[in-house]
């Protein structure tokens, strides 16, 4: 038994962490009233396999500046540790997986505890630590947070979690970017949800991480096993364990000491030394010996963490553990979703010396005095006074952004020109912008910004083409002061990097304003990571371009249909699709401010769009050049653009039809309104810049009225209020028609919604617009179908 007082205290705390995490789940499933009859769950076995590792980390190895992505299924262990550190309440633990209780999986936005990175969708939290390390390097290289020590970005990763493809994409990108200060601790318990994992997987993990430049520390045997190996016959025992299949090892763990003894004697045979080694231990001692893997051995873990702390290279700890360690479920192949029965919990309670009624007591059942453990916890490095959720000063946003005017221009071109003007300026805003793209920097018009501000790398690297005097439009110099992070072509990595950069203010105390670009159809390739970034309230601007079938020659594989609906449905993301570049300038200026808002998540009653909270922004842009209006945008129009819509052509007093359009189909909508005006009076043309914000405002206003605020009215309700009941609405966009189909429900107007519902094909814009029914003729015909009071005399001849 160890005489190290630190290990002694940690061993006691480990027992308490295991008890509390198991009791939290038991209480939720067996004791708390269940109003809907559903199983609550909680993963007792998956938590138990990390109890020792997380005890060693949080109570010994971690420093306040370190950041941890906890394995999703170890959430109860995390909450138990936070409880012992005084950062979690008993009430939250009692409501684990209940309303406003501790969350099923660690959440930055839903948990009151000290969560660094949300986890839940497996693989994403682990991968995010790579990009958080890169974000920290970016902040440091730019001379910010100079007085703050560098932290380690640490991931606790389940071995089955390593099946997720985004992990391998992230590892490759980490190698490209010269990853530092990152630890991954793989919980190698060799069991997944459905089964026991494949034999020899550890060797693949080891080779993989070494290939990407990581140090690999294999932690297989604990102190007891290492001592036994030094006994006579010990090497034969080691050889047997090394040969033992994963399924057999798990089964024997569940069966216990007698089963271990029988199998070892059957397989090794009576060879004297091995037999004596086994006979010196009773069944309980033998079971303890054979399950003494390194992931459950505090001295082994502490030494491994101390050694790795001496350098900043990335480290993978391949740590052998047992799923359900210390519980009656240990080793059983069905234990992933298994929960101890009340009878099993009573046996576990007795083993832990917990008296009935004292289950939540932080020090109940422990051998060391309460005062000694409290004194130990007070000195834990991680528990030192430190602003774990940091505050960062707001970056001033100019009243207007310079928007170069050209008679004809696409929103994608305008986006690049606006950023170029910012890059030329001395605004503080420009210094905090960091752009990134998955190998489409040039084709999404970030090139001008990158030419002026450079690419980021910790070590300078000159553009060889420029050095060799080869003419090129772009200057591809890398330096620590660059403001563009060039990524490989993996959209998951884009959204994970945007997530890390967008959390920089909270993680490192220095606010960044990230802008990421990609092709609009490929949002879907990274949608899980985008949702994850929004879930943890990361702040960024996403410019997705080109979009829709307007990217006509590229064909269906490069054309987007449903992305406007993604923009509307994604929480934490305000979506815009401007038609004109002056609209884009207003939106971008607003977006830089919106990213920095930090209000309550409970909006005040009069704020329909929850604008005080802030969030991220999605811009759906186009490569289609269209005629630009020559106008000065006054404050009321600017406000309308941000709120989602304005009358480009206000309807007269008695309209029988209006056209509402979004984005690149503006020319067709304008042409159609002109054609209809020859036969109809008072035709209106509604420019919709954000279906998302219009719909959100309308929904919020209805909810407010239901709660008694009778005078609550949304922007779209006010815009459509003057229309007579018989007026029809034709909606059109280069995207799914459902995006605008709800407009008729605002005041009960008959509506015909045009858009794209099927995969596109190659062709010219005119061909495709005609084929999919979003050209001027189609708009006029749609108006006639819902308001047939006028004959059609001006349709163009169809081919």
Summarize pLDDT for 382-428 with one digit per residue, the tens: 988 777 777 888 999 999 999 998 999 999 999 999 999 999 999 99
Q: What share of residues in the chain are helix, strand, coil (percent, to 5)?
A: 45, 10, 45
Q: What is the pLDDT of residue 472?
A: 64
Residue 673: enclosing H or E segment and its boundaries? Answer: helix 666-677
> Could you tell me which of 71, 69, 68 has the C-alpha nearest to residue 151?
68
> Do the Cβ atoms of 62 and 151 come closer than 8 Å?
no
Query: Which residues are bridge partners to 684 per DSSP?
Result: 658
Among positive and negative, which fits the CA dihedral 529, 530, 533, 534? negative
Alpha carbons within 13 angstroms on the beta-carbon side of residue 210 total 10
| Pairing of the two strands 645-649 and 573-576 | unpaired
pLDDT at residue 766, rounded to an integer: 94
Which positions ≥6 away from 62 have C-beta within 8 Å?
A: 68, 154, 381, 382
DSSP per-residue letters across 692-713:
HHHHHHHHHHHHHHHTT-TT--
Cα-based torsion angle of the residue sequence 365, 366, 370, 372 in order, rounded to the nearest 10 degrees:
180
Q: Which residues contact 132 (CB under 8 A, 6 or more apart)?
A: 67, 117, 153, 500, 503, 507
CA dist., res. 650 & res. 631, Å (int): 16
Rg (CA), the chain: 31
Query: Residue 132's CB: how many other CB atoms inside 10 A?
Result: 30
Q: Is residue 533 a contact partner of residue 540, using CB atoms and an 8 Å limit?
A: yes
Round to whole Å and give the CA distance between 39 and 367: 35
The C-alpha atoms of residue 321 and residue 52 are separated, in whole angstroms, by 9
Express each pLDDT in 715-740 by its tens digit: 999 999 999 999 999 999 999 999 99
d(CA 456, CA 449) in angstroms, rounded, equals 13
Which residues of the chain are under the pLDDT cut of 50?
601-608, 792-794, 797-799
Distance between CA atoms of 542 and 494, rounded to whole angstroms? 10
Question: Beta strands of 165-276 (E only): which ranges?
Answer: 182-188, 215-219
* String of DSSP letters for 148-198: SPP--EEEEEETGGGG-HHHHHHHHHHHHTT--SEEEEEEE--B-SSSBPP
Question: What integer pLDDT is reported at residue 197 of this predicted model?
Answer: 61
Among candidate residues 182, 192, 202, 187, the one with its CA nearest the CA of residue 50: 187
Quick one: which H or E segment has residue 735? none
Give the sign of the dihedral formed by CA 14, CA 18, CA 21, CA 27.
negative
Q: Is the peptide bond before 546 cis (omega within 30 degrees of 0)?
A: yes
* Measured distance CA(470)–CA(163) in Å, rounded: 44
**Contact of 215 with 316, CB cutoff 8 Å:** yes
What is the rounded CA–CA span in Å between residue 461 and residue 448? 19
Q: What is the pLDDT, as a whole number, of residue 198? A: 67
**Partners of 436 in beta bridges:** 485, 516
Between helices 491-502 and 527-535, what is the axis angle to 10°?
A: 10
The rounded percent of the chain whose pLDDT value lies above 70 is 94
**Looking at 159-260, which runs of residues are DSSP E strands?**
182-188, 215-219
Are residues 298 and 7 in contact, defined by beta-carbon separation less than 8 angstroms? yes
Burial class (CB in 10 A: 0-12, 13-18, 19+), 203: exposed
């Amino acid at each position: 038994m160890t005489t190290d007082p630190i290990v002694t205290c940690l061993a006691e705390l480990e027992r308490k962490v295991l008890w509390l995490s198991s009791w939290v789940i038991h209480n939720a499933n067996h004791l708390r009233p269940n109003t809907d009859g559903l199983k609550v769950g909680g993963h007792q076995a998956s938590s138990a396999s990390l109890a020792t590792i997380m005890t060693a980390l949080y109570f010994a190895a971690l420093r306040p500046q370190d950041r941890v992505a906890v394995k999703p299924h170890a959430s109860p262990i995390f909450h138990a540790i936070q409880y012992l550190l005084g950062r979690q309440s008993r009430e939250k633990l009692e409501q684990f997986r209940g309303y406003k209780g501790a969350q099923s999986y660690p959440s930055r936005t839903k948990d009151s505890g000290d969560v660094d990175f949300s986890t839940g969708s497996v693989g994403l939290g682990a991968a995010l630590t790579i990009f958080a390390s890169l974000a920290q390097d970016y902040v440091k290289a730019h001379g910010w947070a100079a007085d703050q020590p560098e932290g380690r970005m640490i991931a606790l990763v389940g071995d089955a979690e390593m099946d997720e493809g985004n992990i391998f994409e992230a590892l490759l990108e980490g190698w490209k970017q010269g990853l530092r200060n990152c630890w991954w601790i793989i919980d190698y318990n060799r069991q997944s949800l459905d089964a026991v994992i494949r034999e020899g997987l550890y060797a693949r993990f080891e080779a993989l991480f070494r290939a990407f430049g990581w140090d690999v520390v294999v932690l297989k045997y604990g102190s007891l096993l290492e001592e036994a190996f030094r006994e006579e016959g010990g090497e034969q025992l080691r050889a047997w364990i090394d040969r033992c299949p994963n399924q057999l090892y798990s089964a024997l763990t569940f069966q216990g000491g007698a089963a271990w003894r029988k199998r070892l004697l059957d397989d090794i045979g009576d060879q004297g030394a091995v037999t004596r080694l086994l006979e010196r231990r009773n069944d309980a001692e033998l079971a303890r010996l054979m399950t003494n893997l390194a992931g459950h051995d505090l001295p082994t873990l502490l030494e491994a963490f101390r050694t790795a702390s001496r350098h900043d290279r990335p480290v993978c700890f391949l740590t052998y553990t047992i799923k359900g360690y210390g519980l009656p479920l240990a080793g059983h192949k069905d234990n992933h979703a298994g929960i101890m029965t009340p009878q099993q919990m009573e046996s576990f309670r007795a083993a832990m010396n917990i008296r009935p009624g004292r289950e939540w007591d932080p020090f109940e059942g422990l051998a060391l005095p309460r005062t000694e453990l409290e004194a130990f916890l007070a000195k834990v490095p991680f528990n030192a006074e430190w602003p774990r959720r940091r505050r960062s000063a707001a970056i001033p946003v100019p009243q207007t952004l310079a928007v170069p005017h050209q008679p004809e221009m696409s929103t994608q071109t305008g986006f690049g020109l606006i950023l170029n003007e910012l890059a030329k300026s001395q605004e503080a805003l420009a210094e905090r912008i960091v752009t990134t793209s998955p190998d489409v920097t040039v084709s999404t018009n970030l090139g001008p910004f990158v030419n002026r501000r450079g690419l980021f790398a910790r070590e300078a690297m000159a553009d060889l083409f420029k050095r060799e005097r080869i003419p090129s439009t772009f200057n591809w110099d890398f330096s620590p002061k660059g403001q563009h992070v060039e990524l490989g072509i993996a959209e998951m990595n884009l959204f994970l990097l945007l997530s890390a950069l967008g959390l920089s203010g909270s993680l490192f105390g220095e606010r960044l304003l990230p802008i990421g670009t990609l092709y609009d159809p490929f949002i879907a390739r990274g949608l899980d990571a985008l949702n994850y970034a929004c879930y943890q309230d990361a702040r960024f601007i996403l410019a997705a371009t080109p979009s829709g079938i307007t990217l006509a020659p590229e064909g269906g594989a490069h054309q987007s249909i449903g992305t406007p609906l993604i923009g509307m449905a994604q929480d934490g993301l305000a979506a815009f699709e401007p038609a004109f570049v002056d609209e884009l300038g207003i939106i971008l200026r607003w977006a830089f401010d919106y990213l920095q808002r930090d209000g309550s998540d409970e909006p005040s009653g009069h704020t329909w769009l929850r604008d005080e909270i802030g969030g991220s922004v999605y811009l759906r842009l186009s490569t289609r050049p269209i005629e630009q209006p020559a106008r000065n945008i006054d404050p009321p129009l600017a406000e309308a653009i941000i709120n989602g819509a304005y009358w480009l052509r206000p309807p007269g007093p008695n309209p029988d039809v209006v056209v509402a359009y979004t984005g690149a189909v503006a020319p067709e909508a304008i042409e159609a309104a002109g054609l209809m005006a020859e036969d109809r009076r008072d035709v209106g043309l509604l420019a919709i810049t954000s279906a998302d914000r219009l719909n959100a405002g309308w929904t919020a206003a209805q909810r407010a009225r239901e709660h008694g605020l009778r005078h609550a009215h949304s922007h779209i309700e006010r815009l459509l209020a003057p229309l007579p009941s018989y007026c029809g609405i034709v909606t059109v966009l280069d995207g799914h028609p459902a995006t605008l189909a709800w407009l008729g429900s605002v005041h009960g107007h008959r509506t015909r919604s045009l858009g794209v519902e099927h995969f596109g094909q190659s062709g010219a814009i005119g061909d495709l617009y005609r084929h999919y029914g979003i050209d001027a003729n189609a708009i006029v015909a749609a108006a006639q179908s819902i308001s047939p009071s006028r004959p059609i005399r001006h349709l163009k001849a169809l081919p």
